[in-house]
Homo-oligomer: A and B are copies of this chain.
Amino acid sequence: MTKEQVTGAAEEEQQAQSKKALKKQQKEAEKAAKKAEKQAKLAAEQQTADEDDFAKDRYGVSAMVQSQEKVDRTLVRVQELTPHRGGQLVWVRARIHTSRAKGKQCFLVLRQQQFNVQALVAVGDRASKQMVKFAANITKESIVDVEAVVQTVEQKIESCSQQDVELHIERIFVISQAEPRLPLQLEDAVRPETEGEEEGRATVNQDTKLDNRVIDLRTTTSQAIFRLQSGVCQLFRDTLINKGFVEIQTPKIISAASEGGANVFTVSYFKTSAYLAQSPQLYKQMCICADFDKVFCVGPVFRAEDSNTHRHLTEFVGLDIEMAFNYHYHEVIDSITDTMVQIFKGLRDHFQTEIQTVGKQYPSEPFKFLEPTLRLEYREAVAMLRAAGVEMGDEEDLSTPNEKLLGRLVKEKYDTDFYVLDKYPLAVRPFYTMPDPNNPKYSNSYDMFMRGEEILSGAQRVHDAQLLTERALHHGIDLEKIKAYIDSFRYGAPPHAGGGIGLERVTMLYLGLHNVRQTSMFPRDPKRLTP
């Protein structure tokens, strides 16, 4: 935020504060002052103890890093601690992952993101009794700077990512201290549920994880999930830019709920009301009508649906595509499926460590896909389901359980976790969907599925203002409310198709996870707005 805004905010705040609030703040201030006093006392005690300690300059709590000076010191990354650094004296900054004092020694595991290394402080030339005690008392999750000799070890340290070396600490300084009581333990948060159940060991439930997301995101599983998700975004964009797509930015605050007003969040906008966009579709289509030819966007999508399921969020990230085509919307399906295939290949080839890390906590089969992508017609799917005993009409929509069953049938028959279902019944699709020219019951629309769950919904759009008017009337939609949308097609519009992909669902289903909240850093649902 800009400085002006914040200053303004502070002033307004100040004015609005009641006496009661002021009292509360005074109390807080007193509390802070007491805490500071206590810390000063502790520091003084330490100093007294220091006087007969030969190692007293080799450990302690550093002054807060406030950019006092430019220190000419290279910090080595934990993942770089390998036998070829054996014998070297290095500086490392890391968190205290675990700590165990044992007589005159203290064993620490130092962690940096998904990497960790064993470290040791032992009474001797370089460390005093007091220093070992100090090290043993550093709270878990605190950040420390250590100077240490890298020692190769004979027996692999199985519990650490750096299995061939350990650090012999000669100096240790606390850079940032963690409070002694953590709201959750990292080792519990990554424990597979089966292990928890079978061996009676602690696991952490999802709400506790999400309530304490700053700590939960430090686990190897979370680190892997979100690094892989960053990769999904990058692969999506890189593939499309290589195909000649242009990235666009579409507004999220809109003046009218183009779909009729259901499931839309209302925003107070100065003296009027506005809405949060349920999809960038209108804007993508306007860009096609404005000659951008092939466009994509990555951004938040808002749904005011009171759905409390494993796969619904009220705010998620849409990976959206829209593209003019020449003669047949399958040109667009081919572009989208190829993009998905490039994402799957990129993940498989460049994120194997992350996939395996997540697999340790949440085991799943590797994700399978075909080239070219399997494309089934809706009526074929209905036939497969009927053969499996499902009763359903030709023009009936797929229920979620039937989608899952279909996913299993397709996997059995074609050995793929990714496929396209084409030619949905016209009746179950939105008014702007292009009808099938050869069979009025069907439409030029498609969904894409990963492991039996929908990740994309798309279609050829009606690009003719007159047909669009007719279709809207047929659906009983108020023409007044979608006038701007229809008018976009009055000045020459190329035939086009597109679709929207849910990022969190792609990550979830690729990794074989079972809840979309695991792949949203700060998920939003009808019951969760924090952190």
Contact = CB atoms under 8 A, between A and B. Distances in A.
A477 B4 CA distance: 15
B3 A457 contact: yes
Count the copies. 2
A464 B435 CA distance: 60
Contacts of A8: 262-263
A17 B478 contact: yes
A175 interface: yes
Interface in A214-260: 214-218, 222-223, 226-227, 229-230, 233-234, 237, 241, 246-255, 259-260
A98 interface: no
A276 to B, nearest CB: 7
A460 B67 CA distance: 9
A168 interface: no
Contact of A9 (B234, B263, B290): B263
A6 B430 contact: yes
B35 A253 contact: no
Contacts of A35: 466
A226 B253 contact: no
Interface stretch (A146-154, A265-273, A340-348): A265-273
A309 to B, nearest CB: 12
Contacts of A230: 246-248
Interface in A409-431: 424, 428-431
Contacts of A215: 290, 491
Interface stretch (A49-57, A199-207, A322-330, A367-375): A322-330
Nearest to A91: B326
A428 B493 contact: no
Nearest to A8: B262
B492 A142 contact: yes
Given A217-B290, A255-B530, A329-B67, A1 B430 contact: yes
Given A95-B492, A300-B300, A437 B247 contact: no
Given A113-B293, A460-B67, A259 B17 contact: no
Contacts of A229: 249
A524 interface: yes
A106 interface: no
A502 B47 CA distance: 49
Contact of A484 (B69, B279, B429, B531): B531
Interface in A492-517: 492-495, 500, 503
A155 interface: no
A392 interface: no
A188 interface: no
Nearest to A475: B10
Nearest to A251: B522
Contact of A326 (B24, B75, B263): B75
A116 to B, nearest CB: 12
Contacts of A478: 13, 17, 21, 25
Contacts of A28: 469, 473, 479
B254 A327 contact: no
B529 A253 contact: yes
A294 B25 CA distance: 34
A193 interface: no
B430 A3 contact: yes
A408 to B, nearest CB: 22
A455 to B, nearest CB: 11
26 contacts: A5-B305, A6-B259, A9-B259, A13-B262, A24-B480, A32-B469, A113-B292, A143-B493, A176-B492, A213-B286, A214-B488, A217-B287, A217-B291, A230-B248, A233-B247, A249-B520, A252-B300, A253-B314, A253-B529, A255-B529, A266-B267, A269-B304, A269-B529, A270-B306, A283-B522, A300-B300
Q: Which 4 residue pairs spanning A and B have beta carbons closest together?
A: A217-B290, A6-B430, A9-B260, A13-B260
